[in-house]
Amino acid sequence: MTLKDNCKPRSDVIFLSRSAGEAGKYDKFVQELKALGCSAVMISGGVSVVEDVEKAVNATKRPIRGVLQASMILRDRNLPSMNFDDWQAATDPKVKGTWNLHEVLLKENQTMDFFIVFSSWSGLVGQPGQMNYASGNTFLDAFVQYRHSQGLTGAVVDVGVVDDVGYVSQNARLLDFFCMTSTHILYEQDILDALQLLMTRSLITLDNARGEKEVGIGRGRRAFVNKAQLALGLRSTQPLSAQNNRTTWRRDPRMALFAHENLDVNQAPSSIGVDSLVAIELRNWFRQTLGCDSMTILEILGSDSLLSLGKRSANMLKSKYASDVMTGKEHVQEYMNTKMP
């Protein structure tokens, strides 16, 4: 895929960006589009401001046939030092901005061939200091599913580290850091190829509308597969077991590759290899992830099935929170206490 492949003659390409009004910054790019027969319309503004979105949508008299939403602002902070302004700065372009595009285009009765949003694999596996940014990206992944549920086109690309274009390419120290951690590095052509694929997957099909694939994970259930979501670069240049592999997600169990198997939740933990050492890890996981502080090793080992163990943890959470009469702020603080080390 190249710019020439997708820039049709006598078409408008509208750019909404905070830097669109900077004189001379994009002159060469605009000239290239013009040589291909396209008209570039530069709108200075922010996607988080609905009036700016309306201005961009109304900048052409032609029907709008596609959207590429690639806005990003970083305000990296550890959670204790992150204030509300930091949170909003990183999430608004992705959450409020994407919703503005969705709402304004619906109001204008625009029927699009594609609506592609740029997310990040930080929304899938996390990244230290980026809770705000990761949350915005997680919203984008879910937003595409929402678009499909409404019978609308939508696709999302979860982008990793890109070498030759974008934010990381302009920060040499950051690029060196990712290279040293064995992170797989992408290039511009990888992004263009992904866009070309997702343009064909933005349309609603029976598969991605249901979110199902012919892979069983339990009695009467299927694995969720969204063909309109594509993750790029979520792999390492070194084996996960290598000592010099320092990718942030190397110990994330979701990154392990296992064959798809039917999971019988009626099996006892002891029958599938859960011994006392594994039970300690499970107990810690229940406490740190779910806040089930009273879960014991004996309860895990003595449980007659995985299903009953899950029900036991659910009952713990009910007894812990359901009868509380705390205010909303106190609930948040109580929940955060379970998450903080």
pLDDT higher than 60, residue 341: no
More confident residue, 41 or 248: 41
User: What is the pLDDT of the chain when averaged over all its residues?
Assistant: 81
The predicted model gives 230-255 an average pLDDT of 77
Q: How confident is the model at residue 203 (pLDDT cuts 50, 70, 90)?
A: confident
Quote the CA–CA distance of 325 and 341 in Å, as a whole number. Answer: 25
Residues near 10 by beta carbon (within 8 Å), at least 6 away in sequence? 37
Q: Residues 204-230: what's their mean pLDDT? A: 56
The pLDDT of residue 25 is 75
pLDDT at 328 > cutoff 80:
no
pLDDT in the model for residue 138: 93
Asked if the model's pLDDT at residue 272 lies above 90, the reply is: no
Confidence of residue 164 (pLDDT cuts 50, 70, 90): confident
CA 137 – CA 117 distance, rounded (Å): 9
Domains (range + CATH), the chain? 46-231 (3.40.50.720), 269-339 (no CATH)
Instruction: Characterize 237-264 residue by residue with b for buried, 16 or more Cβ atoms within 10 angstroms of its Cβ, and e for exposed.
Output: ebebeeeeeebebbeeeeeeeeeeeeee
pTM reported for the whole predicted model: 0.68
C-alpha distances out from residue 112 to 64, 90, 324, Å: 6, 27, 47
Burial class (CB in 10 A: 0-12, 13-18, 19+), 115: buried
β 185-186/161-162 pair status = parallel
pLDDT digits (tens, 9 = 90+) for 66-120: 999 999 998 988 888 889 999 999 999 999 999 999 999 999 888 889 999 999 8
pLDDT of amino acid 219: 42
Per-residue pLDDT band at 257 (split at 50, 70, 90) = low
Cβ contacts of 119 within 8 Å, gap of 6 or more: 94, 137, 140, 141, 156, 157, 158, 159
pLDDT in the model for residue 273: 85
* pLDDT mean over 197-220: 59
Question: Tokens 């163990």 correspond to what residue?
Answer: 309
Please say whether the beta carbons of 316 and 295 come within 8 A. Answer: yes
Average pLDDT over residues 291-319: 89
Lowest mean pLDDT among 79-83, 89-93, 155-159, 247-251: 247-251
Higher pLDDT, 251 or 96: 96
What is the reported pLDDT for 297?
92
Give the list of residues 6+ apart from residue 260 with CB closer than 8 angstroms, or none.
215, 216, 217, 223
pLDDT category at 56 given cuts 50, 70, 90 is very high
- Band of the pLDDT at 331, cuts 50, 70, 90? low
Give the pLDDT confidence score for residue 5 in this predicted structure. Answer: 58
Contact (CB, 8 A) for 58 and 104: no
**Rounded CA separation 93/116 (Å):** 15
Of 20-24, 41-45, 266-270, 272-276, give the lowest mean pLDDT range.
20-24
Lowest average pLDDT, out of 68-82, 170-184, 187-201, 234-248, goes to 234-248
Give the model's pLDDT for residue 99.
97
Alpha carbon distance 76, 82 (integer Å)? 8
DSSP for residue 267: S
What 8-state DSSP symbol labels residue 63?
Answer: P
For the cut 70, the answer to whether the pLDDT of residue 300 exceeds it is yes
